[in-house]
Amino acid sequence: ANETVNKRLENNGYSAVHRVHDVPNEERMQNFLNMLNAVGYGFVKYDAGECCSNPKALQELTEHVKNTGRLSNMLSSNLIRCMSRAKYSHINIGHNGLAKENYCHYTSPIRRYPDLTIHRIVKDCVLDDANSRKNTYKWERTVPDVSFQSSKMERAADEAEAEVLSMKCAEFMSRFIGQDFEATVIGVSDHGLQVQLDNMIEGRVRLKDLPGGYECNSETYSLLSLDNKEDYYIGDRLSVCLKEADKVLSILILLLIVK
């Protein structure tokens, strides 16, 4: 229905709030392939450009990531970040993720404003023969603003959802202060280690809480010791102790347990 309605509107010259999805970002894709090499799961069948432009290559990359064991969740999340964000637009560039030239949101008018807008366009332009020309002009002027506002509010809703999830995770973990957990390193930066506990909740080990001095190596996705101590790489397994769970800041602060 979403594809058929969008195609009908476009073929008849009517405006529409298209649901569009651009091709993946090639620079981010190359960084992701570099990460796969760094964690020992290199993907060499296709290059970054082919993974962005060829749906078959992207599908094979996705299947490759699914077979990376305990790192698959983390790597799948990073692969998703390579993708362009779907949005609403008055200009139709197609939906790359669904491999559709025409796509809109038409089927849920009770919960999404873009769907309701498409229903109104169909009513005004397709079904109202007497006023079709006048209504077509009206929607030509209206649809760009509707598309922009709908995309803006969708992003705001997604950000609110993510913030609430992080807050509730921190609230849940606050009952386990002082307890030990097993974790996997899923990110490194100049601020320390980003880790994922085995219950899928994420936290951080701050650089200042690590023994000795460290520097971040972006090419190997690692924290390298300046004092000949332990180096840390994405995928490493660590034992950590929960030091702090801040509901307001939505963060978990963890201490490394040195064995």
User: Which strands form 222-225's sheet, in the order they lie side by side?
Assistant: 214-217, 222-225, 232-233
Per-residue pLDDT in tens (0 to 9) along the chain, 259 residues: 999 999 999 999 999 999 999 999 999 999 999 999 988 899 989 999 999 988 889 999 999 999 988 888 889 989 998 999 999 999 999 998 888 999 999 998 677 999 999 999 999 999 999 999 999 999 999 999 999 999 999 999 999 999 999 999 999 999 999 999 999 999 999 999 999 999 989 999 999 898 889 999 988 889 999 988 889 998 899 999 999 998 888 888 888 775 5
pLDDT of residue 220: 86
Structure tokens at 85: 């964000």
Question: Residue 102 contacts by C-beta under 8 Å, 6 or more apart in sequence?
Answer: 3, 6, 7, 10, 18, 92, 94
What Å distances lie between residue 41 and 26, 33, 54, 84, CA to CA? 19, 9, 21, 24
pLDDT of residue 229: 86
Query: 109-137 burial by CB neighbour count: b if 16+ within 10 A, else e?
Result: eeebbbbbbbeebbebbbeeeeeeeebbe
pLDDT of residue 153: 96
Query: Taking the model in full, what pTM does it have?
Result: 0.82
pLDDT of residue 258: 57
Q: What is the rounded distance in angstroms from the CA atom of residue 213 to the CA atom of residue 230?
A: 10
Structure tokens at 126: 């397709």
pLDDT of residue 27: 93
pLDDT of residue 111: 76
